[in-house]
C-alpha cells in the first residue's frame, strides 16, 4: 500500500508541475511525451534538449544496430543536454584546438548512453502560421572519432529566433570503435553503427517533427567535415535498389566533406590491433572480451595508439566505387549546397610550423573532390560556396583565416553563435552571419528556388578540356575580405574530379 501511495504522489507531482505550462511545451512523440521549455526570455523559442531517439546501446547492445526508443510510462523532461558519446578529445599544446573556443556541453560525462537529439522550435509567438516550419538537421563532424550535437556553437536558439519558420535539430551518433567497429565478430552488414544511428535519427525526425510544428517534407540534412561526408554517404545509400531506403529528406548541404573522405576497408586491422592492446587477442573470439571492457578504457587506449575507425566499406551503406557511382549519377538527386572554407587545413598545422604552402597543398588533395560537379551533370540543382571570413572572435590568430575543424569558421555563422566566443564580435561579423543564415534558411525552406530568389546563381559549367572544366562564375564567395554581400568567381578553384582524386590518394 505505501508503494502504491508513493507512485500516486509522484504522478500527482508531475501533473502539478505541468499545470499552467502551455501545451506547446508538452509534445507527444514515438519516444513518449516530451516536456520542453522556453529557451529565451522572449519565449519565442522552445527547446527540447536531450530527447532520446533510440534505446541506450549499452551492455549486450553495445555493438548492435540502434533500436527505437520505447516510450516510458512517464513524460521525459528534455531540459538539458545528454551525455556525449564515448570519446577522447584532448589536444596537445602544439594544436590550434588548444586555443580555439570550443566546448561540448556536459563533456565530463562521456557515455555509451548517448543517442539523444536536441530540437529548437519556434513558439506560437514566433511562428507565422502560414505553414509548418522547415527543418535544418545537422550532423556534427570530428573525423568520426569525436564531437557531439551539444557543442556550444551548434545551439539552435539564435537560428530559430532570428529566422521565421525554422526548426533546428542536432544529435549524437556513436563514434570511433563504438560507431564503426570493423569487428570480425560482427555481421559485415552491421559494421556502420554510427551511420545506422544517423538513419534512425532522421527517421525519428521525419516521423515526429510535425508535432513540433515542423514539415517532414522539408528536412535539410546538413553537416560539416565527417558530418558532411555522412550526409553525402547517405545520398549514395539512398540511391541503391533497397526500396525501403527512402531518403526522407528534401536537400543536402555539405560543409567541407564528401562521401569518400574517410573510409576503411573491411579488413578488421584496427580492431585486431586495439583488441590485442587491451588483452583480448584477435579474431571473432575477441568480440566477447571487448564487450566486457569499460567504454572509456577502450577509447583512452585507442587515443594512445594509431587506430582509425571510419565508415566501413560494406557495399550497402558505404561503397568502394564512388568515382564510378559519381559518373553514373547513382545518388539521391536532391538539391545540394556544397562548399568549403578558404583555408581548410590551417588549423591542422602545429602552432610552431605555420606554413601557407603546407595548408594549400593539403586543401587541394583533401577536399576538392567535387562530387557536386557530377550532380550538375545529372541535372541535380546545385549551388557552391567558398567561405573566406576571418573574424577575430572565431579565428584567434590572423594567419588562421577561414579554417576547417571540429568547430570550423563558418558553422557559428550559420547558427548565429559567433557571439559565444569570449572575444567581441564586429558589426561586419554580425551582418555576415545574418547574410549566411538568410542563405541557408532560404535553401531549407525552398531547396529548388530559395537560393535563386536570394540572388545566388546555380552552379553550371560551359565546357570541358582534358585538364580543366571551364566554369561560369557561379562560385559564391562568402565574406570575401570580410565584406558583404557575396562575390561570384570560378577559377582557380575548379579542377577535374579525376585530377583531385589522384592528388588525394597521393597524400
What backbone phi and psi angles, to 5 degrees, belong to 121? Answer: -130, 150
Cα–Cα distance, 7 to 474 (Å, whole number):
64
Residue 300 DSSP SS3? helix
Q: Would residue 225 show up in a list of annotated catalytic residues for this protein?
A: yes
Banded model confidence at residue 65, pLDDT cuts 50, 70, 90: very high
Average confidence score pLDDT of the chain = 84
CA distances to 356, 451, 488 from 384, in Å = 24, 11, 10
CA-wise closest residue to 425 among 198, 41, 125, 158: 158
First to last CA, the chain: 71
Tell me what pLDDT residue 491 has: 54
Query: Is residue 496 pLDDT above 50, yes or no?
Result: no
410 touches 440 (CB < 8 A):
no
Cα 503 off chain centre by: 26
Tell me what pLDDT residue 336 has: 95
Cα 469 off chain centre by: 30
pLDDT tens digits for range 428-437: 999 999 999 9
Beta strands in 24-93, from DSSP E residues, in sequence order: 26-29, 32-35, 37-38, 45-52, 76-77
Tell me what pLDDT residue 390 has: 84
Banded model confidence at residue 406, pLDDT cuts 50, 70, 90: low
Cα–Cα distance, 148 to 152 (Å, whole number):
10
In the chain, count H helices and then E strands: 15, 16
CA-wise closest residue to 422 among 101, 95, 156: 101
pLDDT tens digits for range 184-194: 999 999 999 99
Query: Is residue 418 pLDDT above 80, yes or no?
Result: yes
Cα 506 off chain centre by: 27
Query: Is residue 328 pLDDT above 80, yes or no?
Result: yes
Tell me what pLDDT residue 409 has: 74
Query: Is residue 450 pLDDT above 50, yes or no?
Result: yes
Q: How many other CB atoms are found less than 10 A from the CB of residue 152?
A: 17
The catalytically annotated residue of 126, 146, 206, 344 is 344
Residue 251 DSSP SS3? strand
Q: Would residue 363 show up in a list of annotated catalytic residues for this protein?
A: no
Cα–Cα distance, 439 to 459 (Å, whole number):
15
- H/E stretch holding 276 reads helix 269-277
Banded model confidence at residue 492, pLDDT cuts 50, 70, 90: low
Surface-to-core class of residue 357, CB atoms within 10 Å of its CB (0-12 exposed, 13-18 middle, 19+ buried): exposed
The catalytically annotated residue of 150, 183, 225, 425 is 225
pLDDT tens digits for range 284-310: 999 999 999 999 999 999 988 889 999
Tell me what pLDDT residue 356 has: 47
Cα–Cα distance, 355 to 408 (Å, whole number):
19
Report pTM: 0.89
Tell me what pLDDT residue 376 has: 82
Banded model confidence at residue 400, pLDDT cuts 50, 70, 90: confident
Banded model confidence at residue 322, pLDDT cuts 50, 70, 90: confident
Q: Which residue is associated with the grid cell 540511391? A: 239
The catalytically annotated residue of 127, 404, 429, 442 is 404
Tell me what pLDDT residue 41 has: 86
Tell me what pLDDT residue 330 has: 87
Beta bridge partners of 76: 34
Under the phi-then-psi rule, with left for phi > 0, alpha for psi from -120 to 50, and beta for the rest, what region is 319? Answer: beta
Tell me what pLDDT residue 360 has: 46
Distant-in-sequence, close-in-space partners of 482: CB < 8 Å, separation ≥ 6: 388, 389, 390, 391, 428, 429, 432
46 touches 27 (CB < 8 A):
no
CA-wise closest residue to 198 among 124, 147, 274: 147
Report the sign of the C-alpha dihedral through residues 429, 430, 435, 439, in that order: positive
CA distances to 18, 328, 387, 393 from 343, in Å = 50, 31, 9, 17
Cα–Cα distance, 402 to 424 (Å, whole number):
17
Cα–Cα distance, 207 to 211 (Å, whole number):
9
Tell me, which fold does domain 2-505 have in CATH?
Rossmann fold (3.40.50)
Q: Would residue 3 show up in a list of annotated catalytic residues for this protein?
A: no
Banded model confidence at residue 365, pLDDT cuts 50, 70, 90: very low
Sequence ranges of the domains in the chain: 2-505
Amino acid at each position: 500500500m505505501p508503494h502504491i501511495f508513493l507512485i500516486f504522489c509522484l504522478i500527482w507531482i508531475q501533473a502539478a508541475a505541468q499545470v499552467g505550462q502551455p501545451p506547446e511545451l508538452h509534445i507527444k512523440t514515438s519516444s513518449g511525451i516530451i516536456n520542453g521549455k522556453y529557451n529565451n526570455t522572449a519565449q519565442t523559442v522552445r527547446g527540447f534538449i536531450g530527447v532520446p531517439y533510440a534505446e541506450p546501446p549499452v551492455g549486450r547492445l553495445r555493438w548492435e544496430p540502434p533500436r527505437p526508443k520505447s516510450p516510458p510510462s512517464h513524460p521525459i523532461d528534455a531540459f538539458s543536454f545528454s551525455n556525449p558519446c564515448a570519446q577522447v578529445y584532448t589536444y596537445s599544446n602544439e594544436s590550434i584546438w588548444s586555443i580555439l573556443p570550443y566546448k561540448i556541453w556536459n563533456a565530463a560525462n562521456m557515455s555509451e548512453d548517448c543517442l539523444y537529439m536536441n530540437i529548437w522550435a519556434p513558439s506560437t509567438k514566433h511562428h507565422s502560421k502560414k505553414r509548418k516550419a522547415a527543418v535544418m538537421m545537422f550532423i556534427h563532424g570530428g573525423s568520426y572519432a569525436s564531437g557531439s550535437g551539444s557543442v556550444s556553437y551548434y545551439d539552435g536558439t539564435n537560428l530559430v529566433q532570428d529566422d521565421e519558420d525554422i526548426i533546428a535539430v542536432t544529435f549524437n551518433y556513436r563514434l570511433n570503435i563504438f560507431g564503426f567497429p570493423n569487428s570480425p565478430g560482427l555481421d559485415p552488414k552491421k559494421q556502420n553503427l554510427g551511420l545506422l544511428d544517423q538513419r534512425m535519427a532522421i527517421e525519428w525526425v521525419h516521423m515526429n517533427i510535425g508535432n513540433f510544428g515542423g514539415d517532414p517534407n522539408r528536412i535539410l540534412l546538413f553537416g560539416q567535415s565527417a558530418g558532411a561526408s555522412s550526409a553525402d554517404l547517405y545520398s549514395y545509400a539512398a540511391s541503391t535498389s533497397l526500396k525501403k531506403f527512402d531518403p526522407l529528406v528534401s536537400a543536402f548541404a555539405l560543409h567541407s566533406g564528401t562521401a569518400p573522405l574517410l573510409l576503411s576497408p573491411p579488413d578488421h586491422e584496427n580492431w585486431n590491433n586495439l583488441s590485442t592492446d587491451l588483452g583480448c587477442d584477435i579474431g571473432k573470439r575477441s568480440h566477447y572480451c571487448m564487450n566486457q571492457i569499460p567504454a572509456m578504457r577502450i577509447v583512452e587506449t585507442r587515443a594512445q595508439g594509431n587506430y582509425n575507425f571510419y565508415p566501413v566499406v560494406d557495399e550497402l551503406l558505404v561503397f568502394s566505387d564512388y568515382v564510378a557511382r559519381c559518373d553514373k549519377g547513382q545518388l539521391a538527386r536532391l538539391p545540394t549546397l556544397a562548399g568549403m572554407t578558404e583555408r581548410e587545413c590551417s588549423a591542422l598545422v602545429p602552432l610552431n610550423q605555420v606554413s601557407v604552402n603546407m595548408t594549400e597543398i593539403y586543401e587541394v588533395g583533401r577536399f576538392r573532390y567535387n562530387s557536386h560537379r557530377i550532380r550538375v551533370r545529372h541535372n541535380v540543382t546545385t549551388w557552391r560556396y567558398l567561405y573566406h571570413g576571418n573574424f577575430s572572435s572565431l579565428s584567434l590568430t590572423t594567419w588562421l583565416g577561414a579554417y576547417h575543424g571540429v568547430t570550423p569558421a563558418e558553422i557559428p555563422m550559420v547558427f548565429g553563435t559567433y557571439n559565444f566566443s569570449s572575444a567581441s564580435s564586429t558589426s561586419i561579423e554580425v551582418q555576415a552571419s545574418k547574410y549566411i543564415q538568410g542563405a541557408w534558411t532560404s535553401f531549407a525552406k525552398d531547396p529548388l528556388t530559395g537560393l535563386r530568389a536570394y540572388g545566388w546563381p546555380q552552379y553550371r559549367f560551359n565546357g570541358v578540356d582534358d585538364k580543366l572544366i571551364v566554369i561560369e562564375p557561379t562560385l559564391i564567395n562568402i565574406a570575401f575580405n570580410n565584406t558583404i554581400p557575396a562575390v561570384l568567381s570560378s577559377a582557380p578553384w575548379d579542377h577535374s574530379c579525376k585530377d583531385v582524386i589522384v592528388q588525394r590518394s597521393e597524400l
